[in-house]
Amino acid sequence: MADEPLVLGIETSCDETGVGIVRGTTLLADAVASSVNDHARFGGVVPEIASRAHLEAMVPTIQRALDTAGIKASDLDGIAVTAGPGLAGALLVGVSAAKAYAWALDKPLYGVNHLASHICVDQLEHGRLPSPTMALLVSGGHSSLLLSEDITTDVRPLGATIDDAAGEAFDKVARVLGLGFPGGPIVDRTAREGDRKAINFPRGLSGRNDPEYDFSFSGLKTAVARWVEAKRRAGEEVPIADVAASFQEAVTDVLTRKAVKACKDNGVDHLMIGGGVAANSRLREMAQQRCDRAGIRLRVPRPGLCTDNGAMVAALGSEMVWRDRAPSALDLSADSSLPVTDVHVPAAVIGHGDVHGQAYDALGGGAA
C-alpha cells in the first residue's frame, strides 16, 4: 500500500465544478465553482449550460486547488474523476480534463463513482470508514441504503427509491411553495420557522407489507401539492413554514427509520449519511437522536462536504491508490447511468504495459 497518497479529484456530474486535493484522509483543498445561479431562472439544471460552465471553470478551478494545497501538479500520485452517474455532457468535461492531466503528467487515472464518493468523503472528517458501513445516500438523483465492506470495491444496495429521490422531492416542494431553486437549502431554512407537526403528510412505503428498505417520495410530493392547492382554492393563506417543516419531517422520519432498521437487521453499528440532502439540519438532528437510542454510531460529513464537491472524488481516489486498486485506462468513458455497484471503472485492457501505454496503443500509437 502506498503511503498517504496525494490525489486530485475532479467532479462535474451536475452543476458544480469541484476540484479537491487530498493526502490520505486529509483534505488540502476543496475548490468549487458553481453554475447554480445560471440555472435558477429555468427552475432546474440545464445540461448544456452546466457543460459550458464546467469547461470555462475547469482549468482555473484546478489551479486554485493546487495553489490552496501549496503543491505542484507534478507532486500528485494520481488524478481521480467522477465517471458517472450524472449528466453525460457535464461528466465528459471532467473526464476529458482528468485524462488530459493524467496523460500530460504521466500519473494514473481513476474514474470513480459519484455515489461511492459521497460516502468516502466522510473519511476526510472522521477517519477511515469501518467495515462494514451502512450508508444512507440521499442526493438530487438518488436515495439508497447501501452496505459496504470496502468502499473501493464493494457497495451493495439494500434498497432505493422507487420514484423520486429525496432531494428531488425537496426541489419540487420548494417550487410548489414558490421558494426558488435549489429547494433543499431553502426548505431547510424556511422549516425552522414552522411547526413540523402542523400537517401529517404521508410516510411513503411504511406499511407492514411494504419493502423495508425502499423509499417513495412521489406520493408525498403530490400530497403537499394537493394540500397547498386546496388552501389556495379556498382563498386561505398557505402557512409556508408549516408546510415546509411538516414535509421535511415526513422525509426525514422515513429516511432515518429505515436506515436505523437496516443497521439493526444487518448487525451494523455504524451509519453514514451522504449526498446533498445529508446537509439538512432536521435530518442530521433526527438521525443523531435515533442512532443514539439504537446504539449506532452516526457519521455525517459537515454540510459543505455533503453537497457535490471535488474533495469527495479525491477522497475515493486516494483510497484507491492506498489500497493498490488498478487505475482506469485512458480510454475511460463517462457513463451517465453508472450503477452504484461499479465503484470505479478499471482498466479495459490488462497486461499490456502501463495504462498510458494501453491508451496509446488503443489510439493507434503502437508500442514503439
**Residue in the block written with cell 416542494:** 173
Question: Between 139 and 256, whose beta carbon lies closer to Zn ion?
Answer: 139
Contacts to ligand KG4 from residues 6-65, by CB under 6 A? 14
Least spacing, CB of residue 352 vs ligand KG4, in Å: 35
Nearest distance from residue 130's CB to ligand KG4, in Å?
23
Closest approach, Cβ 356 to ligand KG4, in A, equals 30
Distances from the Cα of 153 to the Cα of 118, 126, 308, angstroms: 15, 20, 21
Among positions 25, 113, 139, 246, the unique one binding Zn ion when judged by CB under 5 A = 139
184: contact with ligand KG4 by CB under 6 A? yes
Q: Which DSSP symbol is given to 161?
A: B
Rounded CA gap, 11 and 3, in Å? Answer: 24
Which residues are 62's β-sheet partners?
A: none
Q: How far apart are CA 12 and CA 78, in angstroms?
A: 18
Q: Quick one: how far is CA 65 from the chain centroid? A: 20
Contacting residue, 101, 110, 170, 217, with ligand KG4 by CB under 6 A: 170
Q: How far is the CB of 324 from ligand KG4 (least distance, A)?
A: 28
Residue type, 156: R
Under the binding rule (CB under 6 A), the answer on residue 214 touching ligand KG4 is: no
Q: Binding ligand KG4 by CB under 6 A: which of 20, 78, 141, 327?
A: 141
Task: Answer yes or no: are the C-beta atoms of 60 and 352 closer than 8 Å.
Answer: no
Does 185 engage in binding with ligand KG4 (CB under 6 A)? yes
**Which residue, 173 or 262, is less far from ligand KG4 as judged by CB?**
173
| Of the residues 30, 168, 171, 308, which one makes contact with Zn ion according to CB under 5 A | 308
Total number of residues that touch Zn ion (CB under 5 A): 2
Q: Does 330 bind ligand KG4 (CB under 6 A)?
A: no
User: Which parts of the chain are beta strand (E)?
Assistant: 6-11, 16-23, 26-34, 78-84, 109-113, 133-138, 143-150, 154-160, 270-274, 297-299, 344-345
Task: Please report, in angstroms and rounded to a whole number, the separation of the first and last CA atoms in the chain.
Answer: 31
According to the binding rule CB under 6 A, does residue 194 interact with ligand KG4? no
143 near ligand KG4 (CB under 6 A): no
Residue 144 interacts with ligand KG4 (CB under 6 A)?
no
Nearest residue (CB) to ligand KG4, 44 versus 239: 44
Using CB under 6 A as the binding rule, whether residue 256 contacts ligand KG4 is answered as no
Strand pairing class (6-11; 270-274): unpaired
C-alpha cell at position 343: 465503484
CB 133 within 8 A of CB 270: yes
By CB under 5 A, name the binding residues for Zn ion. Answer: 139, 308
User: What is the contact surface with ligand KG4 in residues (CB under 6 A)?
Assistant: 14, 139-141, 167, 170-171, 182-185, 188, 275-277, 279-280, 307-308
